Every structure is written in C-alpha cells, then in structure tokens.
Chains A and B, each alone.
Chain A
Amino acid sequence: MSTTAEKPAAPDSEPGAAGRITVKGQPGTGRRTGKAGRVRRLTRRDKFILAIMVGVPTLIQLLLVWLPTLFSIALSFTRWNGLDLKDIKAAGTDNYRYVVQDYPPFWPAIQHNVLWLVFLALIATPLGLLLAVLLDQKIRGSKIYQSIFFTPVMLSLALIGIIWQLFYNRDSGLLNYLLGTAGTPQAVDWFGDSNVNIWAAMVAATWRHAGYVMILYLAGLKGVDPSLREAASIDGANAAQTFFRIVFPAMRPVNIVIVVITIIESLRAFDIVYVINRGTNGLELISALVIQNLIGEGQVIGVGSSLAVILLVVSLIPIVFYLIRTFGKESKA
C-alpha cells in the first residue's frame, strides 16, 4: 500500500523494481522510510507543515461532506420539523415505510430516474460516441463541428432548462411553430404536459450529455494506438469490425469513466426539473423529492432524509464500482 503512490511517479521504472522505487520516492518518503530508521529526512517542521497540508483539506472534507452524509442517515430515522433540535424524535424505520408505501410521488420518481438513466445510456451516450467517431476522422471543419456540439456542455442544466423552455413553450416556442401546431388546440405544452414533459426534459439533457461524451471519447480515440487499426485493416477487418472489436475495447478506461458519469448524471439530474416545475407533475425525480420535503412549509426532515439516504445508497453502486476500478488496480500494482 505504501509504495502505491510512488509507482506512477517513476514512469521509467520496471515493474517490480521495488528498490528503485524506494530511492525514487525518497524525498518525500521520510515517513515511510522512517520505519527503516531514516526519520531525519523529514524535520519536525516539515512534519508540522505536512500535517497542516493534509489536515486542513481533510477537515473541510470531513466537516462539509462526510459528516452531513452521516447526519442524513441519522435524521432519516427521526421525526423532525426542522425547528428546535430538542424536537427531534426517534422514529425507527417509519419514514422509509411511509415513503415506500404511502408517499405517492415515490414510485413515479424511481421510474423517472430509471428512465432518465436508460435514455442517457441508450441515446445520449451512443450519440456522443457516434459524433466522436465521425469527428475523429480527418474531415473538413472537424473543429467547428466539435465546438458546436460542445457548447451546451459549458452551460448549467438550470440554464438549459430555461433555454429549452423558450424553445418548447406552447405559444411562443419555436418547436410548435415548426410543427405547425402553434396557436391551434393541438399545440403541446412540452414542459407542462405531464405525459410528455419527462421526454422533453431528457432531450434537453441529451443536448448537453452527448457533447460531454463526445469530448471524452475524442480524447480516448486519440489515445488508441494507430498500429492497432492498421493491423486490423491488414487482417481484412472492415470499419465496423475494427471499431467494435479493436478500438472500442482499447478505450476501456474511458468507457468506464463514461459509464460512471452516465449513471451519476442520471442520479444527479435535479437542476433541470427543478427549474421547469420543481420536480412535480410528471417530472418527479428522487433528488427533487428530497428538496421538496426539506424546503417550504411543513418541513418533514425525516422523510426528506430517508429519500436522501435512498439516493445515497443507489449512488454508492456506481461510486464504489468506479473507486474499485481506479484505486483497486493501483493498490494491487
């Protein structure tokens, strides 16, 4: 474990050259080698400075990220209106039972989150990959196309909600004019109609997600060894075979990142539905339900927290998967 950090620090070191790694890592490794009796490498002052360098960010992280996470878990087993700390009452698993059995928007929200994930995974992500593959060829104007597809990635999902609101609006939006239904009774209120608004929102989210995926895959494609493609074409593989059998598997690290990003984005989808209608009327998502229970009148912190914990538990699946892929490899190395 202790040598793991040094390993990549010595790109030129052969695997297993443990001795060299130790030497290479020497300047900073006083602590570790300290066990071997070389404590003097780090003076007391250095240790103090290091303790601050590690301590302050760690404290911030613990205090503002991990402690609140634990508090959320604790609060999910209580009943509280959010006013006086003395009013916090133990409630066992009541909140969870209520959410699952009696809270009407819960199951629609779960469905919407799953739908959101499926939509991003089956439409937005492949679209981004497709754009990357097309733009990776030496075609004219590739940079211009890239810039255009990438622009929405710079925008917040909240702003994207507003911009698409202007586009989708029933009476003044462009879409209904293009469809020829503007001003007629058939005109659809794309963000207002609970039958279609989740789809409309997912299309708007795709506008951003596809560009994001494109840029990551463009970087990934550049990293693929060209000799792999040459070898495949010499062996008579066509473009599709080369891509799916050679290039795509070679981009494994990028693929993992994109799987994780896609899952996490679908769990974090909040801003856009909150901007549209605060996540109600067809746009329920777990993240929005959490906030609805925390903000406004009749705060039900316990219910909001139990929803937050459900969101947390689901989020931990991709997070742990990603961490194992990223750090598991490193500590084994």
Chain B
Amino acid sequence: MSTLANPIPRATAAAGATRNSGKRHYGTHIFLTVMAIMWLIPLGWSLFTALRPKADTDKFGYFSLGGTFNFDNFIQAWTQGGFSKYLLNSVIITVPSVLLTLFFASMMAFAVSRVSWKFNVTLLIMFTAGNLLPPQVLAAPLFEMFKHVTLPYSFSDSGNLLNTYISVIAVDTAFQIGFCTFVLSNYMKALSSDLTEAALVDGAGIWRQYWNIILPLCRPALAALGTLEVIFIYNDFFWPLLFIQSGNRLPITTAINNLQGEFLSNYNLLAAGATITVIPTLIIYLVLQRQFVAGLTLGSSKG
C-alpha cells in the first residue's frame, strides 16, 4: 500500500526537477527506478517461488535463498497439473475466436464506413455499446439459451451447447466484434475513397473492393487488433467459467483458478502454474509489443 501512497508527493518533486529541461533528471530516475522495482516484485516473487522445490521452502522458509533452484515445479504443473492440456484448450478457443472476430468486424466495418445508408451510425453505436457492457449482465440468459439448444450427443456430451468450446468461441466473438468494428471502421474511413472508385471503374464488385482492396490496406490495423484480441481472449476468465463445467476443457486462464484450490498448500506449484500462464503473453509482448500498443491506442486515439 505504501507503494501507492508515496508516488504522489514524490511526483510533484520529480516534476519540479524537470522544469528546466536542460538539467539531468536525477529525481525522475530515482522515482521511476523505485516504481519499476516495485512493479516487478509480484512477478519476480512468483518466478522465485516457482523455481524452488517445496521441500526446500518448507525447510528454509519462503523468504530465503537456501536450497536448490530447478524447474521441477514447472514440469510437474505441465504434466500432472494438466497445463499442457489447458494451454491447448486456450489455443482451441483463442485462434478461431480471433479470426472470426476480425473477419466479421472487418466486413461490418467495410459496410458502415465505405457504403453509406440510413442505419450506418445506428449499427455502429449498437456494436460499440455492446462491447462495453459488463459480461455479467448477459450471463443468466446466455447460460439458459445455451442449455436449451438441443444438440445430438455425438456432437456434444451435454446434449446442448454448454460445456462446448463453441459456446465460448461464439460469445467471445460476439463480444469482441463491437470493439473491432469500431476501430476498423475508423481506420477504413480514413482511407481515400479514390481507391475503391478506381476499382469500381474496373467493374469490381463489393466483395472484391472489400477483400482485394480495402482489407490489404488495413493490414496494420488488423495486425494490431489481432494481437490485442489474442491477449484479450486468452485472458478471458469469465465465459469459460460460466459455460464449461468439465475441468479438462477449461482454458488456462480459468483453469488456474481451480488449481488454486487443488494446490492449496503447495504455493511453489501454484507459482509455477501462474508463471506458465504468463509465458505466452510475455512472448507475444516481446515479439509484438508494438502491435499490441498500437491496438490499444487505436481504440482511444479517435475518441
């Protein structure tokens, strides 16, 4: 808590120190370094705990350097904890959701930004608003709707849409389309209409204008949004929690909550599980940081 009470008075001091831009920013650096260290502590502590065998922490205490450091907890979480399966489940849910979201959102954005008719803005408002609703508002009706969709048992062992990947993919897609449509429509509006005009002269139909002309030009926006959506959907905790009952079908973000119960006394293993869950996002972050930040700011730059 002290971490948060401090910055305010310090901040003003730091801001004061930078008044003359020629001076070196000692105050700023001290402040930022202290903050950065505090920022890294929670993740660092997870990693530290995860790297130590339970026996050693029991013997020497969690706050100590005694004992060995190894990856045994990670291996155990990966094999016995089922993290390999959970990660695969995350992939099964995330990849189709992101692709469908971008596909539907880009079509919708094309239609509302490049073609003009009466309900353009109305539809866009509906899509944008939908994305901002708290998911809990829709929870009960969606759960009941999915429960009453009868499916053959060969297709779903629950006999309905509950406990299937499809339920999560469908709702994730529906929920994210709004945001992506909003961002992409702004992006497409900024493209010169000469582009499609030329295509029109050549006799290109709507689909070719969309697929061959506009969509390739939107590649930067699609890359940024795709990265952002991968993270959003990978991080989604709520929909799988609501729809999926079988523990072995949960994606990693939701599954780790169950493990908290299972690993109750073994914090080392829980820490390893948490670290494994962080790794995919960190990889995406390191590789696609620019895309991710661009995606986040795309949505806000045109407020």
Contacts and interface: CB of A to CB of B under 8 A. Distances in A.
B117 A166 contact: no
Given A291-B139, A311-B136, A257 B116 contact: no
B218 interface: no
A331 B116 CA distance: 13
Interface string A118-140: 00000100110011011101011
B287 interface: no
Interface in A211-229: 211-212, 215-216, 219-220, 223
A66 interface: yes
Contact of A162 (B174, B192, B256): B256
A79 interface: no
Interface residues of A, number: 137
B132 A154 contact: no
B193 A149 contact: no
Contact of B253 (A159, A166, A312): A159
Interface stretch (B65-73, B74-82, B229-237): B229-237
Contacts of A294: 139-140, 143
B37 to A, nearest CB: 9
B219 interface: no
Given A2-B120, A29-B115, A311 B134 contact: yes
Interface residues of B, number: 128
Q: State the majority secondary structure of interface residues on A.
A: helix
Contact of A308 (B140, B170, B181, B284): B140
Contacts of B157: none
Contacts of A256: 303
A167 B235 contact: no
Q: State the majority secondary structure of interface residues on B.
A: helix
A24 B193 contact: yes
Interface of A: 1-11, 24-32, 41-43, 45-46, 49-50, 53-54, 56-58, 60-61, 63-69, 71-72, 75, 82, 85, 123, 126-127, 130-131, 133-135, 137, 139-140, 144-145, 147-159, 162-167, 169, 171-174, 177, 182, 199-200, 203-204, 206-207, 211-212, 215-216, 219-220, 223, 238-240, 243, 253-254, 256-258, 260, 264, 267-268, 270-271, 274-275, 287, 290-291, 294-295, 301, 304-305, 308-309, 311-312, 315, 318-319, 322-323, 325-327, 330-331
Interface of B: 1, 3-4, 7-8, 11, 14-16, 18-19, 21, 25, 28-29, 31-32, 35-36, 39-43, 45-46, 49, 57, 62-63, 104-105, 107-108, 110-118, 120-121, 123-130, 132-145, 148, 170-171, 173-175, 177-178, 181, 185-186, 188-194, 196-197, 199-200, 205-207, 209-210, 231, 234-238, 241-242, 253-254, 256-257, 260, 267, 270-271, 273-274, 277-278, 281-282, 284-285, 289, 292-293, 296-297, 299-303
